[in-house]
Amino acid sequence: MCNNQANMVLLGEVFPNFEAETTEGPIKFHDWLGGSWGILFSHPADFTPVCTTELGAAAQLAPEFAKRGVKMIAVSCDPVQSHKDWIKDIEAYNHLAGAFPYPIIADEERRLAVQLGMLDPDERTAEGLCLTARAVFVVGPDNRLKLSILYPATTGRNFHEILRAIDSLQLTAQKKVATPVNWKLPVDHRASLAAVKSALFAAFALDSFAAYDAFVTRRLQPGESADVYLADLRRLAELFGGVPDRTLSCAFVNGLPDAARQVIRAGSRAEALDLPSVVARARAVLSDDRVATVAAATAAPPSGGGGNRGGTQDAEAVMAARVPRRPRSRRCWACGRLGHLAAGCPQGNGTGSGAAVPDPPDRVTRRSVFAWCGRLVAHLPVCGWLRPAAAWVKRRANAVTRGWDDVTTDALLQSQISHVHSRLLAADPARGQWCWTGDQAIVWTDASSIAAGVVIETPCGGVMEDACWLRPGDAAATHINMAELDAAVRGLNLAVAWGVTNIDLRTDSATVHRWVDDALSGRARLRTRAAGEMLIRRRVDLIRQLANELELKVTVTLVRSEENLADALTRVPKEWLRDECEESRMSVMADDGAGDSAARGQVVVGAGAADAVRSSVQSVHERAGHPGVRRTLFFARRDVSRDVTRALVRAVVTTCDVCRSIDPAPVRWRHGSLEVAAVWERVAMDVTHHQGRSYLTVIDCGPTRFTVWRPLGRADAVEVTGHLEQIFLERGAPKEILADNDTVFRGRRLASLVARWGIALRFRAVHEPGGNGVVERCHRTVKVIAARRRCPVSEAVHLYNVTPRDGRTADTAPAAGVYRYAAGDKCMVLPSISEDDAKKLFPAGVEVHEVPSGKKYIRTTPQPQ
């Protein structure tokens, strides 16, 4: 990730003990350091001019670092072999002799760069990844961070300044001193305490009068500790000749806040306290947040002149309540240390739980299932497929139990729990970096008939948070576009909670993309005639108001379903859905009774046969272009079995992923008076578009609704009249043509064509329901088939023409009203012919071959003379 604030190791914290591959072999950092000082510095990339000069300068200064007992190591995101090849260039350019003095770490997966916050968000590679910044980390012998400097990728470093900083760090680690600006001590003076004091006093030189004035007026600063305050008092006292400890103790107490000063004075009167005791008591008073909180809560406000109504209060508690509370230090619950939160903990800043996967409950109750699922997902921001699976398991537990502690032996619930546990043991999805701050994010949203899902991703590709919401049972009637819009609203809410102001909203719903994009850009008003029009408008307005009031920069991107990261959060295993549908069907059959089933001619089959029938119905549904229940039932009874039930077909269509993902909003067409009784007497033509191509469509206004689609290279009069004349030559000319008032249909070329064929040309109103009912319904159906089946438009037109309009009889198919012969269709699977049957059916000299699809074809070979 490109954001570094949450990942930087703080001063005084233990530096991560990472393992890495280097040019000198694998290392473990703390073992490699070996209790000495160390410097780790990063560079953006190998074979770059600035980095070549930097690492060459560091290599030239390697003897100086060695004199100070400092080990050197570099790091970048390039592989080891690239480092080794680049070292030759560094040595040649900087005239280095001998072996290269320090190793270089290969951080190809950028784990160390992300962990240490060494990424530069303003500089990126050609692939869009953030370059490694020029960071410097100085680690002490205790493996704790002593110094960190972060340069942008465009600015080179001064290694002489880094040497000066190391001199200061090593000096202040041995002596209780502070080095001033531009401080640099000669090497021969570093071992002499007197020389160090002399240099420091010269740097901080004050005259006696100024030092005494500063000593008298010195007070404890907000957030300053008692020890730092006392050390500064000692320094000032030494500048004007020094004072005894008793005087220093009085000056120390006098500089404390009023409430703390009164508490310490009250204790000093009772017993004579020396300077260490006074300082110890000051530490206790200044750090006692609990006493200050309780006293402040119980202290009565001062009144005009009446005294305390609630009785006498403890004097020390009242005075402690007036002590200004110090800001509470941030404490990490993961490692227990101060100075950072768990989100930025260097010892564990991933999404993984860090513990073994908990075993499923032995005694399955609603309470135990909910507790087990909570341990899996409740405390983790990124869970992937586990989140909807856990929610589905809890829904099943609710369905099969009445109370929280009722034991259940439901087989489906047990199998679902076992499936989740085994899959978790194989691959736990709760992993990856998620500690992130910034103002840019990618929001992936998706919805299905099962759930709505949202994934928040960083610009560098790291997932920050994901979430899913199971849709309630009564939401099955809610259109998928409404669910997709709800998911978009929830995704924006999650992104705003992260403090994001630049949001890239990504959805795989073309309808939601158009609604939101038009609303945010103001390019067009919302146009919909769905049943929930007012609900849609309210949600779109909510998105626009969020963007305006919170000053969000929201862009909307349409993506494919396969690329949508939120798609996995809207699915559960198909076996769970099939098992529950089968359970519902079996319960209904049991309620009806075996006698009634026999009377109706229904046959109860085993589970294996039921799965085979369901699979066959699913195949028929896909081959037919994913039609609705009525037409799928027709093809299933024709190609699978006459005993296929409507309930089974409805279950197949309802759970079809393709039908759920591509499901236009329903539209009711008012029938007009443009329909005629004869076939091919009146046709309606139009130019439509699909997947970036233009098509000329001709639809019969008679009872067949037979259609012909022809691709157009250019939507002009020349191509349109050429295709029309070819259709008339093949199928005959109609008596009348309906067209809208497109300029292509109102030109002289088309008028000449219809005059030559003796055809009446009528123009219909574009927005008149009676005129659009014939054309638009055909366009809609063919485009849905092409999108769901992912087939060419020509194949979708074929499936449209061979599908019965009433869903029951083959004679109502558009092709049946035009062709006098029984035309074959792509929905039907021809039976395979065995070799024995081929010998009986075909005479000698005829070879039978099988094509890859399973069908047969024959080829005749000449007989010998």
**Separation CA 578–CA 589 (nearest Å):** 16
Q: State the amino acid at position 172 in one-letter form.
A: T
Query: Following DSSP, what letter does each residue of 398-414 receive, concatenated?
Result: HHH-SSTT-B---HHHH
Catalytic-residue membership of 78: no
For residue 720, how many other CB atoms are within 10 A of its CB? Answer: 25
Token pair of 603 as six digits: 């046959």
Please say whether the beta carbons of 157 and 136 come within 8 A.
yes
Token pair of 498 as six digits: 């992260």
User: 765: buried, middle or exposed (CB in 10 Å: 19+, 13-18, 0-12)?
Assistant: exposed
Could you give phi then psi for residue 695, rounded to 5 degrees? -135, 140
**Separation CA 514–CA 261 (nearest Å):** 68
**Separation CA 530–CA 479 (nearest Å):** 9
Outline where DSSP puts E strands in 758-807: 760-763
Q: Any residues with CB less than 8 A from the CB of 739 and at least 6 apart, and which?
A: 684, 685, 686, 745, 761, 762, 763, 764
Q: What element of type H or E holds 327? A: none
Among candidate residues 2, 51, 77, 435, the one labeled active-site is 51
Q: Which residues pair with 14 in a beta bridge?
A: 144
At residue 451, the 3 state secondary structure works out as: strand
Query: Pseudo-torsion of CA 89, 94, 98, 102, nearest 10°?
Result: -80
Q: State the amino acid at position 376 in one-letter form.
A: L
Among candidate residues 31, 85, 142, 439, the one labeled active-site is 142
Please say whether the beta carbons of 491 and 505 come within 8 A.
yes
Furthest-apart CA atoms within the chain: distance in Å: 137
- Beta strand 693-700 with 707-712 is antiparallel
**Separation CA 491–CA 484 (nearest Å):** 11
Q: Which of 625, 689, 674, 677 is nearest to 653 (CA)?
A: 625
- Beta strand 440-447 with 502-507 is parallel
**Separation CA 640–CA 646 (nearest Å):** 13
**Separation CA 240–CA 717 (nearest Å):** 103
- Scanning 358-435, the segments in alpha helix (DSSP H) are 366-377, 386-400, 411-426
**Separation CA 224–CA 260 (nearest Å):** 14
**Separation CA 663–CA 471 (nearest Å):** 17
**Separation CA 810–CA 804 (nearest Å):** 5
Catalytic-residue membership of 51: yes
- Beta strand 70-76 with 451-457 is unpaired
- Beta strand 104-106 with 856-860 is unpaired
Distance, first Cα to last Cα, the chain: 80
Query: Annotated active-site positions, please?
Result: 51, 142
